[in-house]
Amino acid sequence: MAKNKKLSTLTLEELFAEKKKRQVILMGLGIAMLTACGIFVFLAIKNKNYALIVIASGCLITLQPLISNLNQVKKEIQKREQK
């Protein structure tokens, strides 16, 4: 298991690689989450169990930490490029 380094200790090339890795992870999980939410909504309508719609909308909030981490990497890259 690789150690987590602070973003400030990474080189610019490593930051770009980290950004790309986090984008791929976010895209993959985002697509999977949207698919699951679509299934929840379909099942809620089909079974008339509308509580599943609330669960489906709440599931999308779980992506927020990943989006936040990606934004931190982008800010660090911008800070380095300004120097």
For 12-45, write each residue's pLDDT tens digit: 999 999 999 999 999 999 999 999 999 999 999 9
pLDDT of residue 68: 93
In the block, tokens 């987590």 appear at: 4
Q: How confident is the model at residue 4 (pLDDT cuts 50, 70, 90)?
A: low
pTM for the predicted model, two decimal places:
0.79
Mean pLDDT score, 46-64: 88
Residue of higher predicted confidence among 80 and 5: 80
Under DSSP, is residue 41 helix (H, G, I), strand (E, B) or coil? helix
Whole-angstrom distance, CA of residue 57 vs CA of residue 70: 22
In the block, tokens 């090339």 appear at: 13
Whole-angstrom distance, CA of residue 15 vs CA of residue 78: 11
- Check pLDDT > 90 for residue 78: yes
